[in-house]
Structure 1
Amino acid sequence: MSRDHVAINRDIWNEDAPHWVDVGARLWAAERPEWGNWGQSDATLALLPEDMSGVQAIELGCGTAYVSGWMARRGAAVTAIDISPAQLATARALAAKHGAEITFIEGNAEATGLPDAAFDFAISEYGASIWCPPEIWLREAWRLLRPGGRLVFLGNHPLSLICAPANGAPNEWHLHRPYKGMWGADWTEVAFEPSGICFNLTMEDWIALFSDIGFRVERYREIYAPDDAQGVRAAIPAEWAKSYPVEQVWYLEKPA
C-alpha cells in the first residue's frame, strides 16, 4: 500500500466529523462504556480497569474521545491524540461539558513525539487500531509504555474483511478476498459508503508481530452482534455478525 494513508484518513475524518457529534455526546454521557459498533457490554469485555487512579493513560486515535472521558472518570490522567482537528474540536467541547481534564494533541498516533515510557496504559477503539499500519503504531505504543504497561485495542476482525465485497457493499456469506497476505483495504473509491484506508492482519501475522515487538498477549476476545441486533452497521449486517466475529479485542502487556 503506497498511498498516503495519513493524509487521506485525516481528510476523511475532518469531512465526516459532523456526523459523529451526536454519537460522541451519547457515549460521553453513557453511565457505563459501550464498546464497538454494536455497543457491547463493558462488564463482558472489560477493556478498562475499573479503578484507574494514578494511571497515566493515552488514547491513540481518539476521535471524539469518549474513551478518554471514561478513563478520566475512573481517575486516570489522560492524553488523547488524533490527526483530525475537526474531531478534536468535538472532543474538546465534550470534555469541557463534562468537566474532564484531558490533554489533547493533534498528531499522528504512528509518531506521537511523546517521551519514551511515559504511560502505564494505552488504548485504541477504532482509532490507530484500524487506521494505522500495525507494524508502525504498535511499535510506537510499545515505546510509549513503561515496563509492565498494558495496551488494549479493538478493531475489525479479519473475517469481516474477507467477507466484504470489493465495492464496499455490506458483508455477504461467502469470501470475497484472499486471507493470505492480508494487509487491510482501501475504501476511498468504492461504490458504497466510501471512506479511508484501513489495516488488518491474519491471525498468524498479528501474533508474529506482537512477538517481534515484545508484547505478551494477556487475553483475546472475538465479538459478535448481540442476539437482538438488527439492521446494518458499518457495512456489517446484524445477521452476519451474529454468526461470525465482526470485531476483535487484543489485551497486551509490555513485560516488566
Structure 2
Amino acid sequence: MLPRDTVAAFFVPVGAVMTKDHVSINREVWDKDAQNWVDLGKRLWSGPPQWGIWGAPETSVTLLPEDMTGLDAVELGCGTGYVSGWMARRGARVTGIDVSSEQLATARQLADAYGAEITFVQGDAEATGFDAGRFDFAISEYGAAIWCRPEVWLREAWRLLRPGGSLVFLGNHPLSIICTPLNGAPCEPVLHRPYRGLWGVDWTEVEIDPSGVTFNLSIADWFALFTEIGFTVTRYQELYAPDEAAETRCWVPSDWAKNYPMEQVWHLSKPV
C-alpha cells in the first residue's frame, strides 16, 4: 500500500510514548482515501511487478521468488492487492489482509477482473487471527511495513511463518524522514530531525494534507528487533530514484532520491 503525498510530520520526543489509537486512525485515513488509489491499483495489477515510489522493476530488485507454486503466502497490509495478484500469478495460494474495508473492496474487484483466486480478509496485521505456522512467505510493501508498530507486527509475522519461511518488507528509509524539514517542505540534504530514538511519524498533527500514524526505526534498532524476535537478515536493499526521474513523488524530489535512499527493503528468514 503506497503512501499518499504526505508533506509534513510531527515527531514524539525521545523517550515519549505513542498513545494514539493508530489502528483506528489509519483505518479511517485509508477508508476515506481509497478512491484515490483505484487507478494506481488497476495499473499495477495489469503489469509486471514494480516496487516502491519509483517503480523499481522486479527484474532488478527480486523481492519475490520466481516460482511460488505450492507456497502459502500472505500480504500484510495489502491495500488494493496488486502484490497479492503478482504472487498468485506465480503459483502461490495467497491471503491478503488489510485494515481498510474500502481498500479491500477495490482489491476484490480487481482480483475478480483478473481471475485471481485470493482470500482477502479485513483485519489488523498486528493481530491477524490466522493460525500459527500457516504461511511459507510473507510480504509487505508500505502496508504493515510502515502503518503498524514494528515490535508488534514483526512478532505476528514470525508467528505466522513456518520454520524456514521468509518475510520481505519495503518502506521508507529513515533518511527520507530525518531529511524532511519541520515545515513539511520536500526532502533536502540536511538533517532536520533526530535520528536517535526514531520511532515514526505522527501525520495527524500537520496542517497540510494530514494523514495517519506511521512507524520507522534507526537501522541499528531494526537489527536489534530482528535479533530479539529471532529473524535472520538475509539481504538488505536501499532504493534510489532512477536516473531519468525528474519530479517529486511523496514529498521526495528525484534529485534528492538519486543521491540518498528513499526506501529500504528487508529480507528476513525464520530459521528451521
TM more than 0.5: yes
- Distance across 1 between alignment mates of 2:125 and 2:81: 14
| Candidates 265, 268, 272, aligned match of 1:249 | 265
Contact 1:95 1:102 in 2 (8 A): yes
Alignment pair present for 1:151 and 2:167: yes
Bigger mean CA deviation after superposition, 183-192 or 54-63: 183-192
Structure 1: state its 5+ residue gaps. none
Question: 2:11: which partner in 1?
Answer: none
Alignment of 1:171-210 (within 5 A): 171-210=187-226
2:138 aligned partner: 122
What is the CA deviation profile of residues 203-225 of structure 1, one whole-angstrom value per residue up to 9, with x for unaligned ones? Answer: 10000000000000000000000
Deviating 4+ runs (over 3 angstroms): none
Match of residue 166 from structure 1: 182
The reply to whether residue 97 of structure 1 matches residue 113 of structure 2 is yes
TM-score normalised by the chain length of structure 1 = 0.98
What's 2:55 paired with?
A: 39
Letter in 1 for 2:153: W
The residue type equivalent to 1:28 in the other structure is W
**What is the SS of the residue equivalent to 1:188?**
helix
Aligned length: 255
Distance of 2:95 and 2:184 partners within structure 1: 34
Q: Secondary structure of 1:208's match?
A: helix
Distance apart, 1:166 and its partner CA: 2.6
Quote the offset at 1:44 in angstroms.
1.3
State how far apart, in whole Å, the 2-side matches of 1:2 and 1:169 are.
27
Distance 1:128 1:194 in 2: 19
Counterparts of residues 56-135 of structure 1 (less than 5 Å): 56-135=72-151
Distance of 2:115 and 2:213 partners within structure 1: 34
CA distance in 2, matches of 1:26, 1:194: 26
What is the match of residue 26 of structure 1? 43
User: Could you tell me how far apart the structure 1 residues matched to 2:28 and 2:180 are?
Assistant: 23
Of 164-173 and 60-69, more deviation after overlay is shown by 164-173
Q: State the AA in 2 paired with 1:119.
A: F
Contact 1:167/1:191 (8 A) holds in 2: no
Question: Which 5+ residue runs of structure 2 have no aligned equivalent?
Answer: 1-17
Q: Which of 254, 263, 269 does residue 238 from structure 1 map onto? A: 254
Partner of 1:220: 236
Q: Supply the distance in 2 between the matched residues of 1:59 and 1:206 (Cα, whole angstroms).
A: 20
Distance 1:81 1:113 in 2: 10
One of 5, 11, 17 as aligned partner of 2:28: 11
Which residue of 1 is the match for residue 4 of structure 2? none
CA distance in 2, matches of 1:139, 1:12: 25
Report the Cα offset of residue 43 of structure 1.
1.1
| TM-score (structure 2 length as normaliser) | 0.93
Provide the rounded CA distance (Å) in 2 between the counterparts of 1:126 and 1:167. 23
Q: Tell me how far apart the structure 2 counterparts of residues 193 and 238 of structure 1 sit (CA, whole Å).
A: 21
Tell me the equivalent position of 1:53.
69
User: One-letter code of the match for 1:102?
Assistant: I
